[in-house]
Structure 1
Amino acid sequence: MEEALRMALRGEGFFAFPGLLLLKGPDAFSFLQGQGTRDLRRLEGPGGVLFLNHRGQIEEAATLFPHPEGFLLAPWGALKGLRARLERYIVFDQVVLEELPLYRLLHADGREEVAERGEGGLPLEVFPLYALLKGVPLLEDIRGELPQSVGLLHLVDYGKGCYVGQEIMARTEGKEVPYRLVGLKGLKAGEVGELFLEGRRVGEIKRLQRTPFGLLGLGLVRREVPLGSVVTGGGGEYRLLRYPFEEGLWSGQRSSA
């Protein structure tokens, strides 16, 4: 597993995620345009898309691929979750959702493509750690948060017209939200929970993971708390680092964070 992780961190190999959703039908474009955060008129290749609730919080996320019959959606979480999210909003729309036995290939160098087979991929057990180290979002880490808070504002196309959550996004355009994602370096192991600085709640732990580079994690912390601060929570103690983590964390070089 460690060799596979080293390969991925060098930008070699790919991860193969099974199961894609084909959205097709006469209303496929208008339906999807009214659901996701991306403007389909600008879509030229694969791209991430968020599906928000009416409070502007992330419910689902996927990679969107153009398709001759409509659009292919590769979920960042479970296929059934993405399908349920879309089906909830189908009323009179003439659209069909079809699950296809295809694979989303996420290359360690950042490229994404669709394939009929997934042989030769890196072990999927390695992906959560690779994602943590490289800043690749996992749905479990971003669900329920505003795109701005988790560094995914680039997946929101302003001016595209109405979509679920668009009103909140319009109200917050150009404004700084209270929280941001930070890396956590474990000084004393604890459990997932709230984070405190000098007795004041300043955020929460989204994920903790033991790695070959020590105990690392992901936190959502108030913006006024500076990097380098030591916070506590869940019985543990953590130093706040820049996120995504700097390469020096795993390359053997000293990090400047």
Structure 2
Amino acid sequence: MTASFFWTRLPSGALRVVGADRRDFVQGQMTADIRSAAVPSAVPGCFLNVRGQIEFFARAYPREQDIYLHLSSSEQAQALAERLRRYIIFDQVEVQDLSAELRTLHLWGGAGLLGLDLRPGEAVTLQEPVTVLLGGVQRSGMPGLDLHYLAQQEPQLTQWLASLGAVEQPEAALEAARVEAGIPDVTRDGFAGSLIPEVGLDLGGPLPSISYRKGCYVGQEIMARLEARGQARYALGRVRTDGALPSHAEVSQGGRVVGQSGAAAGGVALARLRRDLEAGTLVEVAGQPAQVEWPGQ
């Protein structure tokens, strides 16, 4: 039987924020505009330090009774939970780490997945065959859904997907599609410590994760200065060669460091590069020759 679409397990962490002040509390921590988001929805955003550098990337799912935060690992979830709890003073908020109880997989590779047409940022809850939270998430350059569920219900869920013609693909296959499509992943690309405009998370980038019209949040003053100044010196691009490239390596030109590569898939890697490099420029990635690419050019 030909696969109608694919599914891939994602390493992930899960936080649940509850309490009467949950929306205002998360609003004051995250770059995304949670207060204006639909219920439910899947809102990508970052948690910055006071210098405006990315500490965590998460997708927030505002729901009727809580806000669910999905991260790239249980370690990330634990670290973010510790940070959020430090900021709770008079807020009626509780942060719960559910990483041991929840799992996430990504559905990709076909249109109208599960009979739905969720665009990136839209979310819905389904009850059959088990209760799942679905979010429209772009991870591969193809239509995609993140599917969040209870770990104990995974056997029923994967059997159901198999009955629909879905075929499991390893994480490496999804990663290769993501890198080729030019979609950043802060954790997998090692972009923590960067500024939002430098790694494709700004407005107009492949994964917009900020609002410049919301209220204050940690790091907001730095982001306002960047917006006023205009383009940052670095931007998200790719480097490509005929061989295999290393991940998370220094990118240089003529002995001068001009960027850092993110995750690599064979001969292509995402990279945080100086914006003044022209497409086709020859650079070295850990001493290996490669060419600069700017997606869309």
What is the correspondence of 1:124-203 to structure 2 with a 5 Å cutoff? 124-140=171-187, 141=189, 142-153=191-202, 154-174=208-228, 175-187=230-242, 191=246, 192-203=248-259
What secondary structure does 1:173 align onto?
helix
Paired residues in the alignment total: 232
Please report how far the alpha carbon of residue 221 of structure 1 lies from its aligned counterpart in structure 2 after TM superposition.
1.1
Whether the aligned pair in 1 keeps the contact of 2:19 and 2:93 (CA below 8 Å) is yes
**Structure 1 residues 106, 64: CA separation in 2 closer, same or farther (over 3 Å shift)?**
farther
Give the partner amino acid of 1:137.
P
What secondary structure does 2:279 align onto?
coil
What secondary structure does 1:155 align onto?
coil
Give the partner amino acid of 2:47.
F
Give the partner amino acid of 1:179.
Y
Write the deviation string for residues 58-89 of structure 1: whole angstroms up to 9, x where unpaired. 11111111222220111134322332332332
RMSD: 2.5
Give the partner amino acid of 1:130.
A
**Structure 1 residues 137, 205: CA separation in 2 closer, same or farther (over 3 Å shift)?**
closer
Whether the aligned pair in 2 keeps the contact of 1:58 and 1:146 (CA below 8 Å) is yes
**Structure 1 residues 19, 54: CA separation in 2 closer, same or farther (over 3 Å shift)?**
closer
* Structure 2, unaligned runs of 5 or more: 109-142, 159-167, 203-207
* Structure 1, unaligned runs of 5 or more: 1-6, 247-256
Whether the aligned pair in 2 keeps the contact of 1:194 and 1:203 (CA below 8 Å) is yes
Give the partner amino acid of 1:198.
G
**Structure 1 residues 13, 180: CA separation in 2 closer, same or farther (over 3 Å shift)?**
same
Q: Distance in 2 between matches of 1:60 and 1:235?
A: 30
Give the partner amino acid of 1:102.
L
**Structure 1 residues 87, 139: CA separation in 2 closer, same or farther (over 3 Å shift)?**
farther
TM-score relative to the length of structure 2: 0.69
What is the correspondence of 1:48-59 to structure 2 with a 5 Å cutoff? 48-59=44-55
Give the partner amino acid of 1:230.
L
What secondary structure does 1:111 align onto?
strand
Q: Does 1:61 align with 2:117?
A: no
Please report how far the alpha carbon of residue 19 of structure 1 lies from its aligned counterpart in structure 2 after TM superposition.
4.3
TM-score relative to the length of structure 1: 0.79
Match of 2:34 in 1: 40
Q: Distance in 2 between matches of 1:197 and 1:227?
A: 14
Write the deviation string for residues 126-147 of structure 1: whole angstroms up to 9, x where unpaired. 3433322233322222211111
Q: Distance in 2 between matches of 1:189 and 1:106?
A: 26
Whether the aligned pair in 1 keeps the contact of 2:198 and 2:236 (CA below 8 Å) is yes
**Structure 1 residues 41, 31: CA separation in 2 closer, same or farther (over 3 Å shift)?**
closer
Given the alignment, which residue of 225, 234, 239 partners 2:277? Answer: 225
Please report how far the alpha carbon of residue 112 of structure 1 lies from its aligned counterpart in structure 2 after TM superposition.
3.4
Whether the aligned pair in 1 keeps the contact of 2:13 and 2:72 (CA below 8 Å) is no
Q: Does 1:216 align with 2:272?
A: no
**Structure 1 residues 110, 183: CA separation in 2 closer, same or farther (over 3 Å shift)?**
same
Whether the aligned pair in 2 keeps the contact of 1:188 and 1:237 (CA below 8 Å) is no
Deviates more, 1:62-71 or 1:192-201: 192-201
Q: Distance in 2 between matches of 1:64 and 1:85?
A: 16
Given the alignment, which residue of 96, 99, 102 partners 2:97? Answer: 99
Please report how far the alpha carbon of residue 187 of structure 1 lies from its aligned counterpart in structure 2 after TM superposition.
4.4
Q: Distance in 1 between matches of 2:86 and 2:292?
A: 39
Given the alignment, which residue of 7, 24, 27 partners 1:14? Answer: 7
